[in-house]
Homo-oligomer: A and B are copies of this chain.
Amino acid sequence: MHKGCVIRVGDLGEFGVIRRISGRLPQGSGVILGPGDDAAILEAPDGRVVVSTDLLIEGRHFRRDWSSGYDIGRKAAAQNLSDIVAMGANPTAIVVGLGLPGEASAEWLDALTDGFRDECALVGATVAGGDIARSDTVVIGVTALGDLGGRTPVTRSGARPGDVVAVAGRLGYAAAGLAFLSAEQGLALPPAERTTAEAGSAEIADEFVAAHRRPAPPYACGPEAAGLGATAMLDVSDGLLQDLGHVATASGVRIVLDPGSLPVPEAMARLAAGLGADPLEWVLTGGDDHALAATFPRDVPLPPSWRVVGQVSDADGEAKAEVSGRAEASGGWDHFRE
């Protein structure tokens, strides 16, 4: 296709963009009124609604040269849906505010929309509405809603001394992928000039780069944990240690992680060796995988999706999360760091 055939969102106009997006979005049974009015209307059978919002900014949360539109849509939706399941709720819908440069292609927008749609479909949710605006860079505001189905919500503040700490989902995968992409950019070697070791890293890195581009949150484990009687839970978005620190502070307890029980897959260890990095650092401080971390009473038999990685004890005057036998780690992600 020659360049003149590319349709830009600036050519479609606001209503053209809205029509194009809406046309790709089926509505779920829980959506009473979908896109096209002042507001959407969703069923809230529980009588309570769970809501979470996130803002993703090009260049900070994603790069259009590192991720496809489809992957960005998947990731943006995943990040919010994960917050809903981390309360023990089932996501029902998302609404999306999109800031788009006029030069973005309609094809890219279609892919982004499909990404939102397909990630929502994994949990039976839909894109129920949105707003678009022109912007110099891509800005994505996603708000997800969910229904508790009669369950008690699982907050950050319920961890009790004697509980176990368990995680579901992947840890450090996205951080490993991002470290590889960043190192590759720093080297800027064309594939032909790479050493064998570097080429080997690239092959190993595939899985982690894919994880950076598209997280795979363990959605079903959130409501599952609520049903099992989890005392506290959150979505790991800023790094396991920092996020468990939030649980420790909110609950007034100390959380001690056993480094031997933290999963470091062999491929991750090999990639880290190639990059001169510490894989445990990725596991402890990497965000973006949207694993779930929860505390459970010790006597609760946990299904295989949950892996025990630590213990909850008395705060002893200092509520915090730490790794047994390890000096204070560098913490997780602060979105205001440069």
- The listed residue (B38, B57, B143, B335) touching A83 by CB distance below 8 A is B38
Binds B, one of A96-104, A276-284, A299-307: A96-104
With A9-B336, A153-B33, A336-B12 already in contact, the answer to whether A96 and B38 are too (CB < 8 A) is no
**In whole angstroms, what is the CA distance A291 to B17 when docked?**
25
The docked-state distance in angstroms from the alpha carbon of A270 to that of B53 is 44
Cα A54 to Cα B45 with chains together (Å):
25
Chain B's nearest CB lies how many Å from the CB of A49?
4
B39, A83: Cβ atoms closer than 8 Å: yes
Say yes or no for A86: interface residue by CB 8 A criterion.
yes
**A47 proximal to B (CB < 8 A):** yes
Tell me if B235 and A130 are in contact (CB < 8 A): no
**Is A25 on the interface with B (CB-CB < 8 A)?**
no
In chain A, positions 95-154 with a C-beta closer than 8 Å to chain B are 95-99, 102, 128-137, 139, 141, 143-146, 148, 153
Shortest CB-to-CB span from A138 to chain B, Å, is 11
Which residue on chain B has the smallest CB distance to residue A292?
B38
Contact indicator A128/B41 (Cβ below 8 Å)? no
Query: What size tier do the contact residues of chain A reach?
Result: 35 or more
Are A55 and B99 in contact, with the CB atoms below 8 A? yes
Task: Please pick, from B49, B97, B130, the residue contacting A41 in the complex, using a CB distance under 8 A.
Answer: B49
Report chain B residues within 8 Å CB of A46.
44
Task: Find A51's partner among B128, B139, B335 (CB 8 Å cutoff).
Answer: B128
Chain B's closest residue to A16 (CB) is B336
B interface footprint on A221-241 (CB within 8 Å = 1, 0 otherwise): 000000000000011000000
Residue A10 interfacial (CB < 8 Å): yes
Query: Is A143's CB under 8 angstroms from B53's CB?
Result: yes
Q: Are A146 and B87 in contact (CB under 8 A)?
A: no
Structural contact, A42 and B47, CB atoms closer than 8 A: no
Judging by beta carbons under 8 Å apart, are A52 and B129 in contact? yes
> From residue A125, how far is it (CB to closest CB) to chain B in Å?
13
8 Å CB contact of A44 from B44, B82, B130, B250: B44
Complex Cα distance, B40 from A146, in Å, reads: 10
Q: Is A74 an interface residue (CB 8 A)?
A: no
Contact status of A51 and B95, CB under 8 A, knowing A86-B39, A335-B134: yes
By a CB distance below 8 angstroms, the chain B residues around A99 are 55, 57, 139
Q: Would you give the shortest CB distance from A89 to chain B, in whole angstroms?
A: 7
- Point out the residues of chain B lying under 8 angstroms from A102, CB to CB: 336, 338
CB-based contact B334/A13 at 8 Å: yes
Instruction: Report how far A89 CA is from B39 CA in the complex, Å.
Output: 10
Specify which chain B residues have a CB less than 8 angstroms from the CB of A56 in the assembled complex: 133
Residues in B neighbouring A338, C-beta threshold 8 A:
10, 102, 134
Cross-chain contact A51 with B55 (CB below 8 angstroms): no
Partner of A53, one of B15, B52, B82, B130: B130
Say if the beta carbon of A2 comes within 8 Å of chain B: no
Q: Is A43 an interface residue (CB 8 A)?
A: yes
Partner of A131, one of B15, B55, B128: B55
Interface residues of A (CB under 8 A from B): 9-10, 12-15, 17, 32-33, 36-57, 60-61, 82-84, 86-87, 89, 93, 95-99, 102, 128-137, 139, 141, 143-146, 148, 153, 155-156, 234-235, 250, 334-338
